Amino acid sequence: MLEQLGISEDTLNFIKQEEESLKDVYKEIDDNCELNTMKVLAGFQKYEVSEGVFNSTTGYGYNDYGRDTIEKVFAYVLDAEDAIVRSQFISGTHALTVALFAFLRPNDKMLSISGLPYDTLHEVIGIRPNNSSLASYGVTYDQIDLVDNDFDYEKIKDYLKNNKVKLIEIQRSKGYSTRKSITLDKIERVVKAIREVDQEVIIMVDNCYCEFVETQTPLTVGADVIVGSLIKNLGGGIAPNGAYIAGRKDLIDLAGERLTCPGEGRDVGPTLGINKSILQGLFFAPSVVRSALKTAVLTAKSLEDMGYDVEPKYNVKRADIVENITFNDADKLIKYIQGIQAGSPIDSNAAPIPTDMPGYKDPIIMASGSFTQGSSIEFSCDGPIRPPYVAYQQGGLTYEYGRLGVAKAIENLKRG
Ligand SMILES: *Cc1c(COP(=O)(O)O)cnc(C)c1O
C-alpha cells in the first residue's frame, strides 16, 4: 500500500515516532473536542432539531423554519445573541464585506487593531483602490499594528480617546502574514481596554479558522460580532458553501438588510435543500477541527525536527488550525505544496503551480484536493510566492488522512 501511495517506510516510521511524543498534546485536543461536542448536541436539543428542519424552500424563501432553526443553533454554539447563516454568502470575505457595509456609513471610521487585514479585504476597504470599496463611499480607514504579536493597548486607547471610531476590526488568524494568530485571552484583554475608553464602538472579529479551537468565542469575552466561513471549521467539510455572522441582534438585523434588501432583510433567502448539510456539518465540526488540530501539531513537530521553522510550535496554545512552515526557498515551498496535492483524495494527479488569484497581490500556489472547491477545512496548503516562502497549511477531515498527507508532502520534499 505504501508503494502505491508513494510514501517510503522511512517516512512513515518517522511520523510514527513523532506521534509517540505527541500523546499529551493530543489528549488536550481530545478534551477540547469533547466540550465542543457537548455544546453542539445541547444546541440541537435545545432548539428541537427534527426532520422537518431539513425541508427546503425555493424562490423568496419565506417562512423557512429550517433556516431559522439553524440560525438559533449556530447562535447557541457561538455564545451569540443571534446569527445569520446563509448559503447566499459566497465566502468568508463576502460575509465580512456584508458586515462592514452593513455597519459603516459615509464619514464613519473603521480601525483595524491587528495590523493589515486579510488580502481579499484590501479592495473591500479601499487599501487597494476599487470603485466599489468602502473608501469610495467615504468610509475612512486606519490601522494600528500588533507589537510583538500582541495588541498595542496604550496606542489603541489613545487613538480612541482622540478619534471617533465606528468599528474596530480584529483578525484572529494570521492570513498570509508571519505574525502569530490571536488567542481568546488576548481578545478578552483588548476588549476590556477598549471598553475603558469607548463603550460604543462596534468590536468585530474575523473569526475564520478559529471556531472550536477553544471552547469559548470572542463573543463570550465581550466582542460584539464575529464572522466566519462554512467551508472552514464550522462547515465540518459537509456544508457546500456559505458563511455566518453572529453576535448582537441589532447588528445581525443590519447584516440581513444588507445581504438581501432593506425591508426584506432576514425574512428571505431560500435554502434550496442544504439545511441538512449545514446541520450535519456543524454536528461533525468539533471532531473535524480535532483532526485538523492534530494534523497541524504533527506537521509542526515533524517539520521542526527536519530543521524548518514552524509556527506555532507543536506544544503551544493554538488560536486557529493554521500551521506555518518557513522554507526560505521558493523551490522547497513548491515541492512541499505539490506533495500535499499529490497526497489528496481529489485531483491527486494535478501539479499545482503559482498563479495570480483574484483578490490577492502576489502569485499564490494552492494545494486543495478537496471535495468542495476551495474548502480549507479539508487538508490544504497554500502560500504566496514571496520571501520568506511560507507554507500555510490547514485542515484535515480525518486525522488518518491528514497524517498520510503530511507524510506524502515530506516525501516529496525529501525527494527534491
Ligand atoms: C479564509 C479567511 C477569510 C475569508 O476567506 P474566504 O476565502 O473568502 O472564505 C478571511 N479572513 C481570514 C483571516 C481567513 O483566514
- CA–centroid distance, 376 to ligand 1, in Å, is 10
Ligand 1 contact via 118 beta carbon (within 6 Å): yes
- Please provide the size of the chain in residues: 416
Q: Exposed, middle or buried: residue 414 (CB in 10 Å: 0-12, 13-18, 19+)?
A: middle
What's the pLDDT at 416? Answer: 77
Atom of ligand 1 nearest to the CA of 93: 8
Please, how many CA atoms are within 13 Å of residue 172, restricted to the half-sphere of its CB? 30
Ligand 1 contact via 91 beta carbon (within 6 Å): yes
Ligand 1 contact via 375 beta carbon (within 6 Å): no
Q: Exposed, middle or buried: residue 357 (CB in 10 Å: 0-12, 13-18, 19+)?
A: middle
- CA–centroid distance, 368 to ligand 1, in Å, is 15
What's the pLDDT at 357? Answer: 84
pLDDT, averaged per 10 consecutive residues of the chain (416 residues), comes to 96 98 98 98 98 96 96 98 98 98 98 96 96 98 98 98 98 94 98 98 98 98 98 98 98 98 97 97 98 98 98 98 97 97 97 87 92 96 94 98 98 91
Fill in the DSSP letter of residue 183: P
Strand pairing of 225-229 and 243-247? Answer: antiparallel
Q: What angle do CA 315, 319, 323 make, to 5 degrees?
A: 65
Q: What does the CA dihedral 183, 185, 190, 195 come to, rounded to 10 degrees?
A: 130
What's the pLDDT at 168? Answer: 98
Atom of ligand 1 nearest to the CA of 121: 10
Ligand 1 contact via 211 beta carbon (within 6 Å): no
Considering only CA atoms, which residue is closest to atom 4 of ligand 1? 92
Ligand 1 contact via 412 beta carbon (within 6 Å): no
Which of 192, 186, 173 lies closest to 121, judged by CA? Answer: 173
Fill in the DSSP letter of residue 120: G
Ligand 1 contact via 209 beta carbon (within 6 Å): yes
Considering only CA atoms, which residue is closest to atom 6 of ligand 1? 92
Ligand 1 contact via 173 beta carbon (within 6 Å): yes
Q: 330: helix, coil or strand?
A: helix
Give bridge partners of residue 322 from the DSSP assignment: none
Q: Exposed, middle or buried: residue 393 (CB in 10 Å: 0-12, 13-18, 19+)?
A: buried
Peptide bond preceding 388 in cis form (omega within 30 of 0): yes
- CA–centroid distance, 136 to ligand 1, in Å, is 23
Domains and CATH numbers, the chain: 2-37+283-415 (3.90.1150.60), 57-273 (3.40.640.10)
Which of 220, 198, 402 lies closest to 300, judged by CA? Answer: 402
Q: What does the CA dihedral 279, 280, 283, 286 come to, rounded to 10 degrees?
A: -110
Grid cell locating 56? 427546503
Phi, psi torsion values for 268, nearest 5 degrees: -120, 165
Considering only CA atoms, which residue is closest to atom 8 of ligand 1? 93
Ligand 1 contact via 171 beta carbon (within 6 Å): yes
- CA–centroid distance, 93 to ligand 1, in Å, is 6
Phi, psi torsion values for 75, nearest 5 degrees: -60, -45
Distance, CA of 215 to CA of 227 (rounded, Å): 17
- CA–centroid distance, 210 to ligand 1, in Å, is 11
The helix or strand, by DSSP H or E, that contains position 244, with its residue range, turns out to be strand 243-247
**Which residues, 6+ apart, have CB-to-CB distance to 238 below 8 Å?**
277, 278, 280, 281, 284
Which of 393, 382, 293 lies closest to 334, judged by CA? Answer: 382
Strand pairing of 243-247 and 82-86? Answer: antiparallel
**Which residues, 6+ apart, have CB-to-CB distance to 235 below 8 Å?**
229, 242, 278, 281, 282, 285, 375, 377
What's the pLDDT at 358? Answer: 79
Ligand 1 contact via 228 beta carbon (within 6 Å): no
Which of 407, 310, 409, 416 lies closest to 2, judged by CA? Answer: 407
